[in-house]
Structure 1
Amino acid sequence: MNRTSASPRPRAVRISSAPEDLAGLNPLLVDALSAVGDVPALLDLAKAAGDAAPKPGEGRTAFLWELLASVTAVDVAAGRAIEPHLDASAILAQAAGHAALAGWDCPDFDGVHFDGAWGVFAAEAAGLRLEAKPADGCFLLQGSKPWCSLAAQLDHAVVTAHLDDGGRAAFAVDLHAPGVGFADPEWTSRGLREIPSGTVHFDSVPAVPLGDAGWYYRRPGFAWGGMGVAACWLGGAVAVARGFQDSLLKAADGGREPDQLALAHLGEIDRTLTALTAYLARTAARIDAGDLSGPGTWSEALRVRGNTATAVERIQTLVSQNLGPGPLAFDPVYGKRMADLALYIRQHHGMRDDAQLGALTLKGDHPW
């Protein structure tokens, strides 16, 4: 009897939710599978997910992360397209009531239109600078912002910009407004080919402030959003692990049982993913309980991201060594997944992030 599943139906990634709750993700995952490679369809999916997804810290953080992980397990680029829209939705919700910078008479936060697809552009790069200039009590964005994924296909974005006093603040901006220009990203990557990230130029573009100077980075949601990205990485790793298990079962059905090395590596992958999902479950519960909303929140985000990134890279290495060059050369789904995930995981800064965590640990910010 064939021990592999003949059905291509995608499966949810469980962190802690009950099976009946995870079953509610099935329609979204089926839609994600049909939208692979189709960016407009993926952005429509992001908008639909944004209408239904819980916000972090509101009692269902684990389910939010399961949604992100499950979509990414279907296709890494799909998760990469959906995650920023959900993050922007959370940022806008967190900013309600903190919209106007003290002393500046900008448009009311209620005037921001939430329709359409959103991105979050907070990266910096040498030689590029985006500034927010006061003008008639409001702000105009001037300059350039790097690493703006899918910018030309989005409607709005949350962007960070430098203020005259040296601080930085977040702003909501209409990407269809006059003065917004999109540079050709010249995207040559084999990973995340449908999610190009390029530079956006702003020439006196009106923007609505979200919170006061530094609010974007001070809020606990900054760390929570970083953990949400890690949930996407987890989903990619689960997909790689499931594919490896399926390949071993298929080989066994053909008469070639897995050797001890393959079984040992599958066992290590199981240990790694089981420990990681348990860690995320505990962290999500702490967020919902209010335990991760003050000092120590960013340290926990660095731990979550670092542990997840390490696990992803280890799983990719084990599977790649076991399966060899064949699937990389001839299996388009496997090859795409491995290339997409390898690029996505580079949002983690490796030892530089560990150095940041070490500095916080040296000051006593640790649980041990």
Structure 2
Amino acid sequence: MAVVTIENVDIVFGDNKAQTLPLMDKGHSRDQIIGMTGDVVGVQNASIEVNEGEICVLMGLSGSGKSTLLRAINGLNKIARGRCLVRDGDNMVDMAKCDEATLRHMRTHRVSMVFQSFALMPWLTVLENVAFGLEMQGMPKTERFIKAREQLKMVSLDQWADKKPDELSGGMRQRVGLARAFAMDTDVLLMDEPFSALDPLIRTQLQDELIELQKRLNKTIIFVSHDLDEALKIGTKIAIMESAKIIQEDTPEQIVLNPATEYVENFVAHTNPLNVLRGNSLMTPLSELAVQDSKVVMENGMWLELSDGKLTSIQNLEGEVPTVSWTPNMVLDNIPDNAIFIVPANIAMRDAVEIRYYSKHFMVLEENEKCVGILNDHNFYHALLGKHFGRDTEAA
């Protein structure tokens, strides 16, 4: 179910929108419009739908319009044309046209925001900062402090409740900002490059914490970033912006495998495939393997024996080869190194590479209990060298 729906949104900064909007419709560029009317096009004809529980990452270079679009969702940026709908119970509220009372209600009960600069009030304690939004909602002091302490415990800062923000590290202050946003218990959480000012190690830690929190809370999160690896790590959906326009919207894996434009292609060219790709994107499909007498011939004198698409055994000249069905969090260092792993087709590349570290052989991929392909070293080298990218783009 859609929680946020953005339909054909234009955002223009300046006093000449009546002249600027027709110029946009005629295809004039941002630079041309600045010269003709003096207006700045912040977002042009943006459309995207974010469903319940998704983490949608808006990304692009500086000036691409990602933060401008994000701030329209809670009414901080005015929309010149189009609709920005946010769910409120059974209704969708147009943030571009609602009155002040409705806007205040949406900001205090439906949409909360985490800023890059933390936006903590230095004269308040950590606990008071987390409870501030609840005070704006009208929650009694005792109740809001109880809830604020619960949120601080969730981000492992309950021991720092009585400290002031300047007594905390940057990463700790950002976790206070997260706790404050989660304490509001809103449906939608907006995050404007919240980790970009932090050291890489702290940034990675907070990304991991956000993913774990999301598993428990299942919020609808719209996250702005200029870091592709961050977007690929945390996003269930990515929208890439260039010059005020959304130029591609898709899952992280499809963004990497099938870039829509040369701009996106350059954007993803140096990404780490370990964090994105899955076995069914890397594998050699069963249809491309040699088949002799109902046997799938493999490397090193091995073959797969199948029955109605199901793997029954793996054989070599000496007899049956042992197999192991992989499960997440399996301890791998006590598995015989001559065993061949049976893994799900959607296995993450990082997990598959770890399995290969402990195994001498290829692995067999299964989907719906049927063999669909294999993963071997060639497939891994293909991905690490970016060959998957060229192959899929050419095929598309």
Same fold (TM over 0.5): no
Please identify the structure whose Cα radius of gyration is greater. Answer: 2
Q: Could you tell me the TM-score, scaled by structure 1's length?
A: 0.27
Greater share of helix: 1
Greater share of strand: 2
